[in-house]
């Protein structure tokens, strides 16, 4: 598995196992991000928020619709 940071899929040598909480079986091995990875991800998200903030609402809606996102499900009203 890779991490998606700042528009790129990246891999790391250092990984950690994800275990099924029911039977402790291994689900996957995922990369352990570094502090630099976190900083890059936060900075990229902040830049993206600026771009999205300048975009008209109907364009943001169109993007979310293409991804299948339904905010009503998060709120529990849908």
Question: Is residue 77 pLDDT above 70, yes or no?
Answer: no
Confidence of residue 78 (pLDDT cuts 50, 70, 90): very low
- pLDDT at residue 67 in the model: 86
The whole model's pTM is what?
A: 0.64
21-49: pLDDT as tens digits = 999 999 999 999 999 999 999 999 999 99
Residue of 12, 1, 19 lying closest to 38 (CA atoms) = 12
Residue 73 φ then ψ, to 5° = -70, -30
What counts of helices (H) and strands (E) characterise the chain?
3, 4
CA distance linking residue 21 with residue 28, whole number of Å: 13
Half-sphere CA count of 26, side-chain side, radius 13 A:
6
């Amino acid at each position: 598995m890779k991490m998606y940071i700042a528009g790129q899929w990246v891999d790391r040598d250092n990984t950690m196992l994800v275990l099924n909480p029911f039977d402790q079986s291994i689900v996957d091995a995922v990369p352990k991000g570094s502090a630099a990875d976190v900083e890059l991800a936060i900075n990229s998200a902040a830049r993206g928020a600026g771009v999205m903030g300048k975009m008209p609402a109907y364009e943001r809606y169109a993007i979310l619709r293409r991804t299948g996102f339904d905010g009503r499900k998060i709120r529990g009203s849908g």
